[in-house]
Amino acid sequence: MEGIAIMTSGGDAAGMNPAVKCAVDYSRSLGYKPFLIFNGLRGLIDDDIEEAKRSSVSGIMHRGGTVLRSSRSKRFFDYESRLVAYENLKKHGIKKLIVIGGDGSFRALNQFYSDFKVPFAGIPATIDNDIPGTDYCLGVDTALNMIRSNVDSIRDTANSFSRAFVVETMGRHCGYLAMASAVTSGAEICLVPELEYDLDAIGERLRLQIEEGRNFLIAIVAEGCNMSDYLTRWIHDTLKVDARLTILGHIQRGGSPTVRDRLMAFKFAVAAVESLHRGETSNIMVYRSGNFGTLPIHKVTDSPASVDPALVELCKPLCR
């Protein structure tokens, strides 16, 4: 039986575990011998590889993060380390790889394919939702629901004490989480890398609302703006509203995957196994305009990431 191995790499995201389970089960149904690679790229080099038994993926559907664990390995940049990884795969009879992660993981596996011609299929998994070519990445819905729950709770306190709360979400280069959260939580301010903001205009808009009876404010800020501390002070000094900052941090990456993330994980995993089964060598699974498909790795890594223009338009009034 030909070996196929599944690994997770890069930042963890809810939905990785359902994807692992489905990839194992579906590949076995097609006659492959599934393996699990633990600890990401580091595990490839250190031979943290074992055959996937049914018990290996039993009871993991509801778990957040990744039971395979993850890592970022600088050693993988060295050809000699990649050669060790290749020898490890040969030893186990593994001839195909599925990697669940972000574009950095895809680039690493593409280099591995260039070196040793080991075909791979990539499943996009990052809560930032910033992989080009796909409208959705695993973990996004769960992260948004974590943010929604926290913002709803913060709003209760904001209303009770007539305060402003600045909530910082993840998103170093992409403001998707902040934009989607701002729109769906009814925030008054949203600052993201994709949009220019005008604090003078924001201040004038909110002063009028305060005069009309508004007694609390919610601002959502993407971490990549580096504006959370400043905005908190600005609200206090300019609008004369008691303001507090809440940085959500890594709680956004955890939590039991939502129904949507579990379903998307299964559909991505089936697509990945089928891509390899068809003989494709270096494709990334994508979801665009309601349809699943594949893109060659170079079309993903060579393209800029962008946020849905319609969502950007919805957020523009919150930046001015």
155-167: b or e for each residue (b if 16 or more CB lie within 10 Å)? beebeeeebbbbb
Which residues are 297's β-sheet partners? none
Tokens encoding 290: 């309601």
Residue 43 CA to residue 8 CA, distance in Å, equals 10
Q: Which two tokens stand for residue 283?
A: 């494709």
Strands of the chain (E only): list them.
3-8, 33-37, 49-51, 94-101, 120-124, 164-169, 189-191, 217-222, 243-247, 282-288, 291-296
Q: What is the separation, in whole angstroms, between the first and last Cα of the chain?
A: 61
Question: Rounded CA gap, 52 and 60, in Å?
Answer: 13
Starting at the edge strand found earlier in the chain, the sheet holding 217-222 runs: 189-191, 217-222, 164-169, 243-247
- Integer-rounded Cα radius of gyration of the chain: 22
Helix pair angle (140-161, 176-185), 10° resolution:
50
**CA pair distance 81, 129, nearest whole angstrom:** 30
The yes-or-no answer on residue 103 being catalytic is: no
Catalytic, out of 128, 130, 141, 261: 128
The phi, psi pair for 279, rounded to 5°, reads: 95, 5
For the annotated catalytic residues, the residue numbers are 128
